[in-house]
Structure 1
């Protein structure tokens, strides 16, 4: 299986900019490379009758931000970074971070890299990865929760680097947006807090919330996963249904967007020259547009697909179905939707590249303006 990337490549975080054909926009999925070797070194195939291999079997994981991509190597227990670097001469290089040797997980931001180990969590300024950590937390017992979760709280990419959570919240996963946080508890309850300026908290208003508050609109519906975009939020129910809320300016919720329709009607190429997919019509001669969706809304994907993985970028969303298909929607100016053109869409669209190449998508990770997908061959026997 291998990782593929598409979308914003301004700092070579998908394809090295030194390569002649590499540009700022990667419109079709490209297989990733890392330190002269493939990202995702495990080559796995399967028969059609066999169950899909879980994404956890891949020996690498991707973490992404606006200007960088971090690869967490599970087998060697270290991290390498591609994209923007402190030194312009190294901007196209994939750089190993020796200090992360033996790490179990990592979290990358625009300024800081955080890594968790069996006995500690450490955070470094990316401009000085060879220096001492700017923050460290000693662990007294093995904690299996994925970053940014930490014992009793969570790591944060800005000071203060550690923030506590109420002890009664048994956190299972935490996703950080630009100005808000979405937490999934062990019993499937979703909590949100932070800025609510675009309805991204799901509490029915645009008011901020300083402390974690359960999303009442999802009460009684156990959730299995959560994700946070720039100013929108997404979660998957235990049954594979997708719920969305927050800002929909670029169609990132998969709901009708007035902005996209206006651009299409006036022949505008959209933001920075992108083509636009017209919004859906609701009823004959009438249209309903959603700018802010302050309550969770159920989003139906084509063919009533059941969702197993999803991720959010700044203003786009991606979801993987149980059948191994990838759907994307929202802002697509840099090709982050993977449809071969810089276009936006307020409807979930199937990324046909993987199907045409006989690939089954297992996982998806969104950077702010790009997307990374883990895929394996669909129809062949295990080697």
Structure 2
């Protein structure tokens, strides 16, 4: 399995060591539109053995299994390179790096030169007492971990959480029964409760009640989930088309591409139908020919992997994070690179302004 990245590269988080942010940089000079295979800048032999990836705005963390577990840290202030530390998972923010081990979690201050964690806590083993069970951050046995203080937040055991996604200001939890719970800020409809109110505690998304979900993901202010049947549901902020619903930004771009401003009748754009906020779940048909297997969200864009191994992206694309040339797209569009390379996409994860996809070589039947 090989990992590829595209999008914002001002700190070399995709093409390692190639970019260093400069005050004169423009969107064109720091973007990567065509997917680039990720390489470890210390030991390239482990580039094809990535088994986990996390990204923030300026950094990327990859977990490798090349004989011993190791972590590769690239991007802004990442001169330390590779660390063979035996961690099982990691999440990275702009100030702190969170590392999970079989028996503890640690938080490291990325601006602190001291080689010791600034916070740590022991974690419980799996319910059956099995040792060495990997943690699935941000979830831990009795709560979840955030990349800003306070680092630990408890979760009621009755929720039986199996997956958790953290947006800029809201949280989305998937329970063992397939129910979806949300809480936090609701000003952009990102909680899916048909209003813009915030919630202090987890509240089930009633519109999805009775349907079993298998995957959840959050962007900055939008939320997506996938049902067991492969259907994609979206809600929240849609100003840049990140929900795959008609958006003002995408429609304005289409007008600019099709005619000059002087030829545009006054007020024509205002007559267009678009959705800025979708406060309850909406079903989006990404492609009629296949189901959705998994999804990822950036700050204002979304990526989905289909059952046929194709990657579709939509939303804000100014830095190339959609894998094709456009500033905005409110319609899911296939990233042709992987089809051209005869590769099947099997996983996707997003940083705020970039996208990372795992792919394998497509098996071609002999004729």
Matched, 1:254 2:244: yes
Per-residue deviation, 1:19: 7.2
Matches within 5 A, 1:78-157: 78-85=70-77, 90=79, 95-97=81-83, 101-128=85-112, 130-142=114-126, 144-157=134-147
Matched, 1:333 2:343: no
Unpaired stretches in structure 2, ≥5 consecutive residues: 21-27, 127-132, 260-268
Q: Distance in 1 between matches of 2:224 and 2:359?
A: 22
Q: Deviations over 1:185-204 (max 9, x none)?
A: 11101000000010000000
Per-residue deviation, 1:304: 3.7
Q: Distance in 2 between matches of 1:319 and 1:224?
A: 14
Secondary structure, counterpart of 1:82 in structure 2: strand
TM-score, scaled relative to structure 2? 0.87
Aligned residue number for residue 340 of structure 2: 356
Find the partner of 1:27 among 33, 46, 49: 33
Asked if the contact 1:245/1:296 (under 8 Å) is kept, the reply is: yes
Per-residue deviation, 1:288: 3.0
Matches within 5 A, 1:1-383: 1-18=1-18, 23-38=29-44, 41-42=47-48, 59-75=50-66, 76-85=68-77, 90=79, 95-97=81-83, 101-128=85-112, 130-142=114-126, 144-267=134-257, 287-339=272-324, 341-379=325-363
Q: Distance in 2 between matches of 1:79 and 1:129?
A: 18
Q: Distance in 2 between matches of 1:170 and 1:215?
A: 16
Asked if the contact 1:40/1:60 (under 8 Å) is kept, the reply is: no
Segment of structure 1 superposing worse, 215-224 or 150-159: 150-159
TM-score, scaled relative to structure 1? 0.84
Per-residue deviation, 1:167: 2.1
* Backbone CA RMSD of aligned residues: 2.3
Q: Distance in 1 between matches of 2:285 and 2:347?
A: 20
Unpaired stretches in structure 1, ≥5 consecutive residues: 43-57, 270-280
Q: Deviations over 1:282-332 (max 9, x none)?
A: xxxx85311100000111012342011110000000000011000000000
Change (3 A) 1:150 1:124: same
Asked if the contact 1:27/1:342 (under 8 Å) is kept, the reply is: no
Query: Relative contact order: is structure 1 or structure 2 higher (C-alpha 8 Å, sep ≥ 6)?
Result: 1
